[in-house]
Amino acid sequence: MLWVRATEHEIRKSRNDVATGILFSNLIMYFIILTTAATLHAHGKTTISTTNEAAEALRPSLGLVPTGCLVWV
């Protein structure tokens, strides 16, 4: 089998693509955490120690399906 090496331009392009993807995924993660914290604080839930408690606290705003996913974590 013949191996073809990537050019310097392809490696740089790939590196930029990965860095951009990481940046956006971390930005989205940050806002999900921020929104969840703001929602819980607005409902007076400031002492949560288990995922079950978090799921129950978020049930009014998320519905049944997402809270079911949180319980399994």
The pLDDT tens digits of the residues spanning 11-42 come to 999 999 999 999 999 999 999 888 888 888 88
Mean pLDDT, to the nearest integer, of 45-66?
73
Q: Scan for tokens 């089998």, then name that residue.
A: 1
Distance CA 33, CA 37 (A): 6
Distance CA 18, CA 10 (A): 12
Contact criterion met (CB below 8 Å) for 48 and 54: yes
pLDDT, position 69: 58
Q: Which of 26-30, 47-51, 60-64 has the highest mean pLDDT?
A: 26-30
Average pLDDT, the chain: 81
Task: Copy the structure tokens of residue 9.
Answer: 């331009």
Tell me the backbone φ, ψ of residue 66, rounded to 5 degrees: -65, -35
pTM: 0.62
